[in-house]
A and B are shown apart, each in its own frame.
Chain A
């Protein structure tokens, strides 16, 4: 495999997986019965996965969230939805491939799905810009949100980005304006919306798809105002302190649920989302169906009132004497 197939702390898991593979091959070639050895190895594998993934540190979660085999937006569109029709372009400048979107069905019901899309290899990443959108990507997203609103269909966003792209063209075309406009428009949408952080929730570039009635996170997703590397470089004045930064910023799903910033956590299989795409997609679909099921019956004004109240309550302050 050209890309990194496993993370450092997954090495033991990878070794057992390899042993199982070898044993199977050997059994097939020689017609041997190895079922009891296989069973014991599989038990060992399961135990290893549990031990490894049960207590991931925040910086390990960052690695899992960025895992090169983790499912991306288009994978979920194949596995958790049906009948996907991709829609392209912002109608102003160009089509930004780092954001994909279009109509899809969730258990038969039409919804608008929009998400950042990373590339699986270098060639695709050049096209997808590593999931870092330009303003035209956010403007395409807004166009599709407005389309959903026009036809009164719910909105689902899947968030997976290191951040909005910092470049000359992005600044020239108003990266700040594009993000800001999405925040304002999403706050006022007259349709139900669920945002899910499926991998990396990188700052304003993530939030630009993330103002929603319900915000969910996959178990090993991360969501932060700046990358741990960036935070370490600025506050610790050393890029090597990313572990401390990752812990201090409280970026895991569990932390953010505790802080009231997200509403629900979507469970991942024991070895992480990358170990079983189908199971992860199934859990995502269940969560979306449940949350949209709660939101859809609400009258529009009630939906918007609750959304506003939720964001107005964000933050912590005190009154000085």
Chain B
């Protein structure tokens, strides 16, 4: 037995930062206290450490499109309940609850607008709506956005954020993978650019369809991206996963992404890429000084 003993004193949290949630926000990565207005101006990226917090779907519309250019498609499309599905709760009730909480009625917003004047079609997924899960409406809205891109010959952008398939729609949720991929096959044949933007988290059926089919696949830093969820993998292989597994950085290293893009640079970076793919001259910031200037 030990004949001396270290007195056990409970550690005191000296800098507990409990804050009124409506004015200040604490960065979950570096712990910095950020004035909420400042965070909003910075598109929910921590000004201190660059950690990307989740940005709501509408945030991406403001981030990517020129002010006032957005025109929404298919705003009124709502999920049916094709299987009459009930688990611990009826699917209809889950849907109704999600619709009440959400401003847009489903897990994706689609529409068109311009990026530095370039017309684009856009889909933005909303993780807060039943985990961004892909059911019939997500598939249908994205497929229609793709068909409009085809019609207008405008590039298609999809901002992905999803836990995967909407199990409550059973096989129909699986079929949305085929449906969206079929539309992307048409865009590919017509030479219309498609840019996939992967945000935290992008997993399951979305990863195994349109998230990985971009002419360019971009991701935000530190996002969880994978086909199988980390817990499923751990249970299958019965060992712990390596540090940094299934992050954006891991996917870039393994050749699945073209670039990791800081959200604050996302618009100019995408415009630069689109201009290359569309055969347009370089954007102003990269252009040679014009002789007229």
Contacts and interface: CB of A to CB of B under 8 A. Distances in A.
B134 to A, nearest CB: 10
A180 B185 CA distance: 11
Given A176-B227, A248-B86, A184 B174 contact: no
Interface string A156-193: 00000000111110111111110111011101100000
Interface residues of B, number: 66
Contacts of B248: none
B172 A172 contact: no
Contacts of B78: 317-320
A179 B139 contact: no
Contacts of A251: 170-171
Contacts of B139: 314-315
Interface stretch (B5-13, B22-30, B48-56, B228-236): B228-236
Interface of A: 164-168, 170-177, 179-181, 183-185, 187-188, 203-204, 207-208, 210-211, 223-226, 230-231, 234-237, 244-245, 248-251, 256, 259, 261, 307-308, 311-312, 314-321
Contacts of B185: 184-185, 187-188
A166 B227 contact: yes
B63 interface: no
B172 A181 contact: no
A248 B87 contact: yes
8 contacts: A180-B212, A183-B181, A211-B178, A248-B83, A249-B83, A261-B171, A312-B179, A316-B79
Nearest to A238: B88
A256 B171 contact: yes
Contacts of A172: 250, 254
B245 interface: yes
Given A311-B182, A316-B80, A318-B78, A171 B245 contact: yes
Interface in B177-192: 177-179, 181-186, 188-189
Contact of B256 (A165, A177, A245, A316): A177
B228 A166 contact: yes
B257 to A, nearest CB: 10
B35 interface: no
A183 B209 contact: yes
Contact of A171 (B77, B170, B175, B246): B246
Contacts of A224: 170-171, 174
Interface centre among B168, B181, B183, B250, by most A CB within 10 Å? Answer: B181
Nearest to A226: B167
A236 B88 contact: yes
B171 A174 contact: no
A184 B167 contact: no
A3 B78 CA distance: 48
Interface in B205-239: 205, 207-213, 226-229, 232-233, 236-237
B227 A187 contact: no
A225 B173 contact: yes
B172 A261 contact: yes
Contacts of B245: 168, 171
A184 B213 contact: yes
B101 to A, nearest CB: 15
B66 interface: no
A166 B233 contact: yes
Contacts of B175: 261, 311, 314-315
B165 interface: yes
A259 B82 contact: yes
Contacts of B291: none
